Amino acid sequence: MAWEPMQIEPPEVLEFQISGEDEPQQCPLVFTNTNPIAAVAFKVKTTKPKRYLVRPNQGLVMPGGSETSTITLLAAEARVIFEEHAQTGVWDDSNKFLVQTVAVDGDFFNTFNQSGPKEQTNMLTDLWSNISKQKAVKQKKLRVAF
């Protein structure tokens, strides 16, 4: 499912296989920039930040390129979800993610490419902190299934 200017895979639901095992579960989130000329920044947020790690939680996808973030359900939290399901017979459906994307201008793109990793992280953090409401930020909600 295409979503301008970024294609996201999976497009709707992040799936985690929960068992009684005490191991973290991971789900890849792949961003593909469908814009052939502009880089696109992304940011991933969750309703349960103590339950999940998102690495990287923000980034820049080059024109026509792709990047992958890994969403990790922490082992202790997976166990809690499994035990709640064993008691109630119902999976917790309150876990959600918000993906935000925005095309960046050429100056940002050029400076980003000439910067080191720490500076790039700071640039992205500043971008999302100072983004104007009038800027064309696209948002996509993803739900979680167990």
**Per-residue confidence band for 131, with pLDDT thresholds at 50, 70 and 90:** confident
Number of neighbours of residue 44 by Cβ within 10 angstroms: 21
- Name the strand (E) or helix (H) holding 118: helix 117-129
CB 52 within 8 A of CB 81: no
Q: Map out the domains of the chain as residue ranges.
A: 6-128+136-145
Q: Is 22 exposed, middle or buried (0-12, 13-18, 19+ CB in 10 A)?
A: exposed
Q: Has residue 101 got a pLDDT over 50?
A: yes
pLDDT tens-digit readout, 46-99: 999 999 999 999 999 999 999 999 999 999 999 999 999 999 999 888 999 999
Q: How far is CA 93 from CA 8, 30, 51, in A?
A: 21, 22, 13
Beta pairing, strands 25-33 & 52-55: unpaired
Residues 87, 112: Cα–Cα separation, whole Å:
50
Number of neighbours of residue 137 by Cβ within 10 angstroms: 15
Residues 129, 33: Cα–Cα separation, whole Å:
22
pLDDT tens-digit readout, 102-128: 999 999 999 999 999 999 999 999 999
**Per-residue confidence band for 134, with pLDDT thresholds at 50, 70 and 90:** low
What architecture (CATH level 2) is domain 6-128+136-145? Sandwich (2.60)
Residues 136, 115: Cα–Cα separation, whole Å:
25
**Average pLDDT over every residue of 34-53:** 95
Conformation bin of residue 22: beta by default, left when phi > 0, alpha when psi is -120 to 50 = beta
